[in-house]
Amino acid sequence: MPLSFVSIRSIAARLFLTAAAMSSVVLIVASILLTAYYRSEAEEVFERRLDVYLRAIVADVSESGQEGRTGPGQLGDPQFELPGSGWYWQITRLDDKSHDIKASRSLFANTLPKLSDLGVAAEVGGFRRGYGPGPDGRRLRIVERVIDVGDVGIYLVQVAGSGEEMEEQIARFRFALVVAFAALAIALAIGAAFQVRFGLRPLRQLQRELATIRGGERERIMDAYPSEVAPLAEELNLLISANRDILERARTQVGNLAHALKTPLSVIVNEADSAPGQLAGKVQEQAQIMRDQISFYLDRARAAARGGALGAATQIAPSIEALLRAFSKIYGDKGVIFSGGADPRLRFLGERQDLEEMIGNLLDNAGKWAKSQVTIDVSAETDGAARPTLRIAISDDGPGLAPHLRAAATQRGRRLDETKPGSGLGLSIVVDLAAAYGGSLQLDDSPSGGLHAELRLPGF
């Protein structure tokens, strides 16, 4: 059974969506934390790189005492030679009114702003760190330090670098992280779907077993199940057994009631037979009505009990074939042809005798009124339901039945034409039996001009 995520009421959908949501949250939080950590590490590496360049220049100025000899040749980075590269150094003499400046070639006659002028406070050791505008307007990270070389002078040493390279590295890391986490999310989704399908397999197996029990192929759940599902399977077995016990007791009580009522009625009839007079005749008449009523409703009670039984299923095709052969002989002298059939795979969820009684009454009614032909057609309709609905259609080419008389025709004991044989119970029996199984009977016009009776019953 494929996974279906259409409805949130589905357990598979809930499990999958929960796993997907939790995985998404974990991946998003992890990507944010990893990106933040990588940015922190990249900024620390960038700061250490600036500090190394600054300390190298400070050491060179302190040792040589000549700022003019301090240059990028000692830094070993060609970016300080490229104009506008974003990497700059600058040495400014502070104790001289001329404020001589020595700078890297990359500054190209430009100067770096002083962090002290930008309001950046000094750290321990005279260091200042901050951001300032570069020659081309780019935002630079600047570190600077004031050193006193004694009689040689006081100098402000500055090193600046552009964070673009660092941002590019972070962007590349973020892209690689997104690609990796997207692939991981897809793998997790596939894994979650497989896990849900594998985890719910015992429930699907239990559903199939219940279907076989409902179809009459088994009497109880037999397969072994995991510890989480095994109690449910055992409870279902107990429920099925209890259902059978209740129905069996109901059938027994119905039979006992039938015998208990028939004996007093027989006594009443016998006494009425031996007593002459009008009263005796009336008693006999009413006793016979009571017998008919008792037989009718006891039969319906038995049918209702059978209709609620689990595991009752009847193949339709053999019953229809037998009924068609029987009625072809009964109405053979009249020249009525009975034709049709059913798919051998179709089954009725109920007792065989009830199915044959319903179809037999409809065929008998059609045979009485047909001129030459009676057809029966059986099909199954699903309509999205878990179980199919059997559609048993019986049509004749007789005079038909007016719409306003159709409801009366299904009433018990109602005969619309006294010239035809019968008791008027046939269609009412079909209606009651069909209702006991949750089905229905509908009368309509036949394409051949007669009556079209459509019986709907639960199928399998």
pLDDT digits (tens, 9 = 90+) for 112-122: 999 988 888 88
Q: What does the alpha-carbon distance between residue 367 and residue 398 come to, in Å, rounded to a whole number? A: 9
Give the pLDDT of residue 418. Answer: 44
The fraction of the chain above a pLDDT of 70, given in percent, is 84
Average pLDDT, the chain: 81
Which of these ranges, 214-228, 318-332, 339-353, has the smallest mean pLDDT? 214-228
Q: Residue 37 pLDDT more than 60?
A: yes
Total Cβ atoms within 10 A of residue 123: 11
Q: What does the alpha-carbon distance between residue 123 and residue 143 come to, in Å, rounded to a whole number? A: 11
Q: What does the alpha-carbon distance between residue 138 and residue 115 come to, in Å, rounded to a whole number? A: 16
Q: Residue 307 pLDDT more than 50?
A: yes
* Between 64 and 70, the higher pLDDT residue: 64
Which of these ranges, 69-78, 138-147, 341-350, 392-401, has the smallest mean pLDDT? 69-78
* Between 57 and 213, the higher pLDDT residue: 57
Residue 259, Cβ density class (10 Å: 0-12 exposed, 13-18 middle, ≥19 buried)? exposed
Q: Are 417 and 401 in contact (CB under 8 A)?
A: no
Give the pLDDT of residue 383. Answer: 67
The bridge status of strand 337-341 relative to strand 451-458 is unpaired
Q: Are 392 and 457 in contact (CB under 8 A)?
A: yes
Q: What does the alpha-carbon distance between residue 15 and residue 9 come to, in Å, rounded to a whole number? A: 11
Give the pLDDT of residue 311. Answer: 55
Give the pLDDT of residue 75. Answer: 66
Q: Residue 280 pLDDT more than 70?
A: yes
- Joined together, the tokens standing for residue 323 give 């009924």
C-alpha to C-alpha distances, 121 to 129, 264, 454, nearest whole angstrom: 8, 117, 96
Count of alpha carbons within 13 angstroms of residue 454, beta-carbon side: 10
- pLDDT level of residue 219 (50, 70, 90 thresholds): confident
Q: Residue 421 pLDDT more than 50?
A: no
Strands lying side by side in the sheet with 389-396: 337-341, 373-381, 389-396, 451-458, 440-445
Give me the mean pLDDT over the 224-247 stretch.
81
C-alpha to C-alpha distances, 320 to 45, 314, 326, 357, nearest whole angstrom: 89, 11, 10, 11
Q: What is the dihedral of CA 128, 132, 135, 140, to 10 degrees?
A: 80
Give the pLDDT of residue 151. Answer: 74
Nearest to 338 by CA among 328, 349, 351: 328
- Which conformational region is residue 400 in: left (phi greater than 0), alpha (psi within -120 to 50 degrees), or beta? left
Sequence-ordered strand ranges (E) for 207-336: 314-315
Q: Are 373 and 445 in contact (CB under 8 A)?
A: no
* Between 8 and 361, the higher pLDDT residue: 361
Q: Residue 419 pLDDT more than 50?
A: no
* Between 244 and 79, the higher pLDDT residue: 79
Give the pLDDT of residue 171. Answer: 92
Is the CA virtual torsion 411, 412, 415, 420 positive or negative? positive
Give the pLDDT of residue 182. Answer: 92
Which of these ranges, 96-105, 157-166, 357-366, 410-419, has the smallest mean pLDDT? 410-419
Give the pLDDT of residue 411. Answer: 63
- pLDDT level of residue 82 (50, 70, 90 thresholds): confident
Total Cβ atoms within 10 A of residue 169: 15
Residues 6+ apart with CB under 8 A from 245: none
Q: Residue 30 pLDDT more than 90?
A: yes
Q: Record the pTM.
A: 0.50
Give the pLDDT of residue 299. Answer: 65
- pLDDT level of residue 17 (50, 70, 90 thresholds): confident
Give me the mean pLDDT over the 380-386 stretch.
70
Give the pLDDT of residue 377. Answer: 92
Give the pLDDT of residue 381. Answer: 83
Which of these ranges, 99-103, 111-115, 374-378, 410-414, has the smallest mean pLDDT? 410-414
Q: What does the alpha-carbon distance between residue 221 and residue 237 come to, in Å, rounded to a whole number? A: 6
Q: What is the pLDDT of residues 176-192, one digit of tens each?
A: 999 999 999 999 989 88
Q: What is the pLDDT of residues 141-151, one digit of tens each?
A: 899 998 888 77
Give the pLDDT of residue 315. Answer: 85
Q: Residue 253 pLDDT more than 50?
A: yes
Q: Are 392 and 378 in contact (CB under 8 A)?
A: yes
Q: What is the pLDDT of residues 123-143, one digit of tens each?
A: 877 788 888 888 888 889 899
| Bridge partners for 444 per DSSP | 452
